[in-house]
Structure 1
Amino acid sequence: MSKIVIALGGNALQANPKDTSANSQLNTAKDTAKYLVDLVEEGHDIIIAHGNGPQVGQIVSTYESSSKNVIMPFPECGAMSQGYIGYHLQQAIKIELMKRNINKDVVTLITEVVVDENDENFNNPSKPIGSFFTNEEAKKISDEKGYVFKEDAGRGWRRVVASPLPIRIVEESSIKTLVEAGHIVITVGGGGIPVIEKDGYLKGVDAVIDKDFASEKLAEILDADKLLILTAVEKVYINYGKLEEKSLDKVTVELMNKYMEEGHFAPGSMLPKVRAAIKFAASKEHRETVITSLNKVKEGLKGVTGTSISL
């Protein structure tokens, strides 16, 4: 059986984007847990990472709507979302384990991830978060707090943050200990809380780490056999939406790099997943990344469907 790092996409946490209630998310987590526990039942060791886009946006907006002058620091919002989502996944997975008489602990670890303060992405913040402001309101907050705002499709001004690459997972030793003890670990939620190293200490920074890159880093650290990236589609496509559209089944790293260089994958959508997938598959012999949908997770691992990338 395999050690598998699973990167959960947003649809695995919030099936109905119009219903952002806690109860709706918990119900979605319960559905997601069935697919995850299927893998546990087959004997696999799973480690779970997840995104947090909608949830962290709700947290930021809640603080902003309480007072236009109150902006919650983004690292703290990321930590809140890790606990919030982790609680729902813990509860849902534990319920499913109990139904199948599987005795395993499920643990959420609030996780910090080191980034480089000189990462070029800090020069061009592009990830919008939180509420919309008027130009005057945005300028006032920017002058007071130093935050960057950008106009968003004529709807108003939103705060934007950078998306730096992960360098190191701070709690990696604890994660390894929990995994080796046989626990199901939920970690690097939302890509992890971004921190920089300053004078020997860690300091949180306003940024969003891509959860697929953080998951790839986690998979390397744990010497996982497979990185499983779950998204809304069953397979990766080239020439997507065109007459010559073609799904990808088993693909080498070399060929996937070629497709990426040809511009087949959309930035902000499939491209980060493909980049993370290639990086893990190329990192060591016999490592494999599978990109597929949540409801096809077992078939994807068996090579029946999904896109499999390896050396």
Structure 2
Amino acid sequence: MDLLKAVADRALRLVLLLAAVATASFFLMVNSPVDPVDAYVGADVAALGPEQRAQIAERWGFGDPALERFGAWLSNILQGDLGWSLTFNQNVSEVIGERFLTSLALMAAAWLLSGVIGFGLGVLAGVRRGGVTDRVVTWWAYTLASAPTFWVGLLLLYVFAVSLGWAPLCCAVPIGVLAEDVTLLDRLGHLVLPAVTLSIVGVAPVVLHTRQAVIEAMESDYAAFARAQGESTLGLVVHRVLRNAAAPALLLQFGSLGELFGGSVLAEEVFSYPGLGAATTDAALGQDVPLLLGIALFTTVFVFVGNTIGDVVHAKVDPRVTRVTRKRQAV
């Protein structure tokens, strides 16, 4: 019963969240100062006559009342139809599916790198609290926390692609090479710089939170008791501290999926990486309302699922979370 209740509660929260995101996103889009006809036509808008403008507006429903457009769009959504992308001239669901697969490799690599490196450095800084290692790692983390993704990407691109020539300048695959001729090594080579950019920016919160968790664990009563029993620092860290520090780090990692997606938008623009982030930018510049709304809903589900997985993993790693939750529900 507890499991069914928890699943039902999560499902209800997701439905309410999607409804709120859909409503807010739609009315933000339709009230944008950008003329949708101008955005749709692009550079040839100067040659557009009044009759042609009216035909385009009628074809895509730009002139319909906002509530009527929202009702039609919502009705299609409930039938599983996300609409038609004006930018890519195909179904929104197809655009999201194709572009997300490309972005998934980038975000997964960056997510793993930032988690592993951030956790390792956070543990090292916490154990060496007050020392040179702690100061260097903490300074580095605070510096990265304030560094814009766009700036970090441009810096890495200039150093490793332009100056040193160690990495490709752009794209997810080599330019001019047929899809069937692209190797896994080619894809990995084009993935490295964007993934490193995202992971560098995302590593700072993990480092700082892990460091604080390690410091608290090292100063706890059970740590003092273990030292009194002759436990070495290494043994204390391996057997007692890592588990306590891993719980908040995992929760933070799964909770950062929204920031990860936001960072991928900038990183993909810098490296011309054809993922969902780049599609979001193209849709925004082209006032492609169906695609923007579809991406907003998809991102909402993506982040919500990530947060839910983070809660479950956190509870598994740290059983105290489950006990506190049950006490609150009982009260």
Give the TM-score normalised by the residue count of structure 2: 0.25
Give the TM-score normalised by the residue count of structure 1: 0.26
Kindly indicate which of the two structures has a greater share of residues assigned to strand: 1
Kindly indicate which of the two structures has a greater share of residues assigned to helix: 2
